[in-house]
């Protein structure tokens, strides 16, 4: 099954995917153990989330070892987060200004991060960033 074009993960799906991205591939138990201990969901909850992600085409069963299925992600962190950001920006009629202004005014963006963003913008304008810049 192909990943959904407009896949927008829920908060818990994103957490589970985060653990799987870090692992590269893993069983449900390994994914569960990769989640923060303080807020780690039960095994069956992680299992349900992984199966939902599989139905949505975001992960697949890569192989089976004994009784354990090994899952691997089919979506990248960049595409999953990007779709959430695009959806969020839709609430502001597509304008990025309110988000950027809030990040700067609240101090959540450092001057080093702003400089890095400037570099990305310059690279994008010159077309030197490759296929990602030519969207």
pLDDT of residue 63: 95
Instruction: Quickly list DSSP for 13-43.
Output: HHHHHHHHHHHSSB-HHHHHHTS-GGGPPPH
Which tens digits make up the pLDDT trace of 62-106? Answer: 999 999 999 999 999 999 998 888 888 888 887 888 888 888 889
From CA 73, how far away is CA 71, in angstroms rounded? 7
From CA 113, how far away is CA 79, in angstroms rounded? 21
From CA 100, how far away is CA 21, in angstroms rounded? 27
The model's pTM: 0.75
pLDDT category of residue 3 using cuts at 50, 70 and 90: low
pLDDT category of residue 4 using cuts at 50, 70 and 90: low
Tell me the two tokens of residue 36.
Answer: 């923060």
């Amino acid at each position: 099954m192909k990943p959904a074009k407009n896949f927008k993960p829920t908060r818990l799906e994103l957490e589970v995917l985060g653990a799987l991205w870090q692992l590269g591939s893993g069983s449900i138990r390994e994914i569960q153990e990769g989640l923060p201990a303080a807020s780690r969901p039960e095994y069956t909850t992680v299992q349900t989330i992984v199966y939902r992600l599989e139905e949505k085409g975001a992960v697949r069963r890569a192989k089976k070892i004994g009784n354990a299925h090994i899952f691997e992600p089919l979506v990248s962190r960049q595409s999953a987060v990007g779709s959430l950001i695009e959806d969020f920006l839709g609430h502001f009629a597509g304008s990025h200004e309110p988000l950027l202004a809030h990040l700067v005014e609240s101090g959540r963006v450092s001057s080093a991060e702003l400089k890095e963003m400037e570099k990305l913008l310059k690279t994008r304008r010159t077309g030197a960033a490759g296929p990602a810049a030519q969207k």
